Amino acid sequence: MNGSGSSVLLLGGTAEARELAVLLEAAGVDFVSSLAGRVARPRLPVGAVRIGGFGGVPGLTRHLEEFPSSVNGLSRSEREALTAIEAGHSTPVRAFLEVARLQESIFLGDIIFYSYLQRLSGRKNALVTWKDGRPVVSPNSRRAREFVDGELKVTALGREVLSGKRDWQGITTRGRWLGGVELTPGSGGWRWDPERRELVRGKRVNTRKPGKKR
């Protein structure tokens, strides 16, 4: 993966992970081992190592950006996925690599990213589908190649949500958990306000009157 700008995040702390780190280094793969930081003197693997938690304030902020936006109800990862596909990164792999490139540090893996695409798809009110209109379903071992080579498209509804004309939390019927917080469909609940850079309650209300500028 060297030269691609991508890196492997290795969840360390076990003998197997240390063995894999040796193999990755020998193969010339760019990787970082992540340790929880619960041991005072951990046995360190070869290569780059990151120890502890969210990675400080930037890491915690990045986690909070996964709450639905107060603008359109999308998490940052969902917004960036749709934006990447709309910009022409139309296969799942290309979209994942583009979203990974935008991160300040390693944040999510490809399988999790593909589950986000499935979350945004479906037979009704889909924001993204395959080019033939079929809903996106996360890959399994039998159809992994078909999945990664498939062509995606953002739907008309997806473009409306991206632009802020529609609110995804008001459309979807699927709830999800983010850490210990249950995010349920609807206009209420916790939202991430990208302008104020903080969690707020509910969707942002646009109080600007037509024809008047601030």
Instruction: Give the pLDDT confidence of 154-204 residue by residue, as tens digits.
Output: 999 999 999 999 999 999 999 999 988 899 999 889 999 999 999 999 887
Residues 101 and 158 in one domain: yes
For residue range 101-149, list pLDDT tens digits in order: 999 887 888 999 999 999 999 999 999 999 999 999 999 878 888 898 8
Q: 168 with 161: CB under 8 angstroms? A: yes
Is 32 a residue whose pLDDT tops 90? no
Look-up of token digits 């500028």: 213
The model's pLDDT over 136-162, given as tens digits with 9 standing for 90+, comes to 999 987 888 889 889 999 999 999 999
Statement to judge: residues 44 and 69 lie in one domain:
no
Query: How distant is the alpha carbon of residue 128 from its chain centre?
Result: 15
- The reply to whether 126 and 196 lie within a common domain is yes
Q: CB count, 10 Å around CB of 38?
A: 9
Nearest Cα neighbor of 50 from 3, 102, 107, 96 is 107
| Mean confidence (pLDDT) of the chain | 87
Q: Assign 72 to helix, strand or coil.
A: coil
Same domain, residue pair 155 and 182: yes
pLDDT at 6: 58
Q: Are residues 121 and 33 in the same domain?
A: no
Q: Which domain holds residue 13?
A: 8-53
Q: Domain end: 17, 37, 53, which one?
A: 53
The per-residue pLDDT for 102 is 94
Q: How many domains does the chain have?
A: 2
